[in-house]
Chain A
Amino acid sequence: MSEALFFQEMTEEQKYEQFMKRINAGEKIEADDWMPEDYRMTLIKLISMHGISEIMGALPEKEWVPKAPSLKRKLGIMAKVQDEMGHGQLLLRVAEDLMKPLGKTREDIMQDLFSGRLKFHNVFHMEAPTWGDAGLIGWLVDGAAIITQTNMLNASYGPYARALKRICAEEVFHAQHGEAIIMALAEGTEEQNAMVQDAVNRWWEALLMFFGPGDASTTGTSKQDTTIKYRIRTKTNEDLRQDFFTKYIPRVLSLGLKLPDETMHFDQDQELWVYRQPDWNKFKDIIKNNGPKSQERLGLRRTAYETNKWVREALNTAN
């Protein structure tokens, strides 16, 4: 802080230089701090998508909340889906503060979701037709989410890092909640075993897609270089996918489950998991809201939002 130069006297280049120096030194950027437009826009895109994915992510599991097979499971899944909404709340607050200088609010986020401008994660467009899916989402989808979210715990943007810290602490409960459901099914009747295996088969491709394409050559665009440059994350999509394999494949196999990819193996020389690529064209299509459940879930969200509009209007100017 020996710089005598006052901030308002700096040129844009000097501000940018100082900003990069700060984040490279591990300093945190706060909502009111100066930041490059590119940084702000990257964060808004990333965090609003992350936040709205949590909100939309409550829906595939929502089906199983009233249907959970015991009082204990009913309570557990209610708490879990509640947390998803809670994570959405935390993340949207972070995104909303970033959007404030652009004159945008939560209302705009919701409208962007409905119009398709704001995307949500590929996994939440998929079907969850059995109780096995409810368990699998908690175990592996949340497992994948833990891998990507812990990778950003040291994000240069302070409010995001703080929200992620809260979120990751709760994800530990989610992972165990999912494991408990899966374990009971894996140790249960043949019918219950089959439920888990079917769910693994159904979700495998979506799980691979969850981490995003390896590089821009696959889908045309990739934001991963920008987010690494700005120290929002450290690892690439492929690094994260490999981490996921390393953590979860031994566990999946230990329960007697089979992976729906017979080519899958660990290559000792390259020290990499070798696997069959998912269909990335399908991925692009899914996140454009053309997945099996995209329209139904957007419809539910939109209907609920519209139906409750009178409540927001009634308290619009109260106090």
Chain B
Amino acid sequence: MTRQRLRIRGLFQKYFLVLFLAVVIPLATNGVSEAWFGYRDQRATLDQLLGVEARSAGARIQGFLDDITNQLGWLVQLPWAEEPDERRRIDALRLLRQVPAIVNLTLLDGAGRERLYVSRIGLNRTETRTDRSADEAVTGARANRLWYGEVRYYRDSEPYMTIAMAGNRPSVGIVVAEVNLKLIWDVISSIKIGETGHAFVLDRPGRLVAHPDISLVLRGADEATLAPFRELREAIGRAGADVATGWDAEGIAVAAAAAPVAGPDWTVVVEQPLSEAFGPIYAALWRTVGLLLAGAAFAGLLAYVLASRMTKPIHLLEDGTERIGAGQFDHRIHIETGDELQRLAESFNAMAAELAVSQERQERIAKLKRFLAPQVAELVDRTGDDDVLEGRRTEVVTIFGDLRGFTAFSARATPEEVMSVLSEYYDALGGIITKYAATLTSFSGDGLMLLINAPVPVAEPALRAVDLAVEMQLCVQKLIVGWQRRGYRIGFGMGLAMGPATVGRIGYESRFDYTAIGSVVNLAARLCASAADREILADATVAEAVEGQRVLNPMGMRRLKGYDEEFLVYHVAYAERPDAA
């Protein structure tokens, strides 16, 4: 039982697993592949986005410098005269006001002599005519028209740069401006990459020119401060086309991209924390995970319901077969699935019905066998009905036989001896009765009554009755030899008569007997009663029926008990030794 239960649970698990996997595997495959391609797309988008941001930031830094150089351009348009130029001084002062990043301006004439110096901090100078033509800034501006100096840190803190610009002809001179790069802060701090990302600027050797956190810039050329910025720039260089990832100064993982600022050869780096940059990717991943979980839960539910629905009929079938197996043939399995299982249940039901019929027949046969010879009983059963057992009037041969002196013997003998004798007696007769297909209507103590030709008609009933009687007599006589040797005084007499009688079942409920009623029964009984040991007495009807086939010797008229008239009684002749007969 436990084994069966285990098997059933196993089937449920199997169904459940198969159905669950059938839904979950395609779902998971789809989800994972979608997430993977989404991730790749997002990375590509991010790379493009950061690239655009970097170029935009680069353009704004370039714009900061271009603003300065555009303004400087106004100071190198007119040629210098020998006398002081008041107009140019006012222009220079105005320029200082307009461009806060410029700390001081030096204007040189075509010969490279200092004509004007204006400053926010120091005293202004005019017409010192100091020769500055050997200055790096001057030679640089003369060679390239526009020259950017190296980034310097004033008092190791504030970043400064010199910008020099020459006019389109030598006579207009050169303007040299000191620019405080700290003021790029206004530009750099307004650059926001996404929500929390920002940009910073490095010069060619990797020094910090601008950063939203001005205190980082003011630390000057501090190697420890600059290292993470340089590393990030290198990481961008290594990443190539893909989005670069690295760590910013606070150790936060960032995605970064860079763009050059052409003039002073700077690099603008934009960075965005990975948590934010990959935010949409993570959101998509979480969405996928959520959908997968929901899908799995739904698949689980679905698989559970389906597996239950599939195993439920099987449970019903199992239960039904168990009941039918236990003999409950009226049990019917109700499965309305409209599939093979229903067909199976129907065939089980049909089987149960057939088993019920079969069992009924078995029971009937068992009942018939109590009084019919087995082969007759089978025959009756084969015909399918027991109408033959219904009461009717028919020609029968009645055979009676009983032991002589048995009553006296049973009074003397022990019960064991009595039962032993009866047992041998019926054992011997039972085989013969079966052999001749006679109907045993009753037996009580030492006597028995047989019918021939009822309920199943036979050919030549009289002949068969005579042969049966002879064989019984011979058989009992052999037993009697043994009994007499043991000292029992027992004999055996028989009587048979033929004639019409009413035959049929009598009794109640399951206690039915088959019997015959009529004078022929009485006659046979009387003949038997008057028969001596070894004698088989028959009436005239029997004798006539077997005339020429068996030898019956008339014994003359005899008065029988219970009858007024006398009957002609015949004696069946038979060989004493069955071997000789």
**A and B assemble together:** no
B-to-A contact residues, CB < 8 Å: none
